[in-house]
Amino acid sequence: MKNDLPKVKDAMSRNVFFLREDDFATKGRALFRNFEYRSMPVLDEDNKVIGIVTRGDILIITSTKSNIPVSGIMSTPRVLLTPEEDLLTAAKKMVDADVSSALVVKSTTDNTLVGIISLHDILPFLREKKSNKLARDIMTTEVVTCSPNDGVAKVWDKMEKTKFTGLPVVKNGKVVGIITRKDIIDAGFVRIRREDDKGKVKNSPKIEKIMKTPAICVSPDTSIKEIIDIILKHNIGRVPVTENKKLIGIIDREDIVRAFL
């Protein structure tokens, strides 16, 4: 397919919240909660990128480790993009690196931060490209799920092992909700989850208490453009695919991007 998409600079966000390496990690946790970030850059005094903190990194923070500096949890960015790269090339780099967002720096020789871009930002531009694919063509059929009766610790561990940040909640084969890593963070159950791992909590909170309902689902005949519209409208990361109310697959942003690559 001809690569005629706009450039990274056309889709990236320029107003980026960032952290310094000597900031307390709790500052990052507050920003993640308040602004729904998935990742955040760590800059030096010259505003050059020296690391990145993800939503997963922030979860090591507990009440007894509130004084951890950002330098203790940050990692090296898997992808750095430049403003002049075209969006399709940028999307491929992100999917290949298994990241949903990437930092944008001034150039390949200058790591001064100029923006951040996510797969979500790229979807509106992909929507304008021609594609006749349907949900059945791009969905993942081996779906990792959980039950509404599962405890937070069990579901969190499943997310950690599978690397999925959101799971359909299924009862009797039917989707009854969606649970994401962010839902667990927002509900304040991360600390409980860690204490549950250590045997300090006898009755871990159930997923049914914090899952999102009803789940927004699509049929196997839903067009890829309709799926993009749904994801953008509701600001969600994935949609279960159902047939006769039964779960048969799931589609996330990465699946959509791969369909255009």
For 149-164, write each residue's pLDDT tens digit: 999 989 988 998 998 8
Chain centroid, CA 193 distance in Å? 20
* Angle value at C-alpha 140, between 137 and 87, nearest 5 degrees: 70
Report the predicted TM-score, pTM, of the whole model to 2 decimal places: 0.83
Residue 60 binned pLDDT confidence (cut-offs 50, 70, 90): low
- On the question of pLDDT at 204 being above 60, the answer is yes
Exposed (0-12), middle (13-18) or buried (19+): which is 224, by Cβ within 10 Å?
buried
pLDDT value at residue 1: 44
- On the question of pLDDT at 191 being above 60, the answer is no
In percent, how much of the chain has pLDDT > 90? 64
- On the question of pLDDT at 245 being above 90, the answer is no
Cβ–Cβ under 8 Å, residues 156 and 204? no
- On the question of pLDDT at 3 being above 70, the answer is no
pLDDT value at residue 131: 92
pLDDT value at residue 27: 83
Alpha carbons within 13 A on the beta-carbon side of 94: 30
In percent, how much of the chain has pLDDT > 70? 90
- On the question of pLDDT at 186 being above 90, the answer is no
Q: How far apart are CA 31 and CA 102, in angstroms?
A: 18
Q: What is the mean pLDDT of the chain?
A: 88
- On the question of pLDDT at 244 being above 80, the answer is yes
Residue 24 binned pLDDT confidence (cut-offs 50, 70, 90): confident
Rounded to whole angstroms, what are the CA distances from 101 to 56, 111, 219, 253?
13, 17, 28, 11
DSSP label at 204? P
Q: How far apart are CA 252 and CA 254, in angstroms?
A: 5
- On the question of pLDDT at 33 being above 80, the answer is no
pLDDT value at residue 199: 47
Q: Helix, strand, coil shares of the chain as percentages rounded to 5?
A: 35, 30, 35
Residue 190 binned pLDDT confidence (cut-offs 50, 70, 90): low
The dihedrals phi and psi of 201, each to the nearest 5 degrees, come to -115, 120
Higher pLDDT, 175 or 62: 175
Residues 6+ apart with CB under 8 A from 127: 225, 228, 229
- On the question of pLDDT at 255 being above 80, the answer is yes
89: three-class secondary structure by DSSP = helix
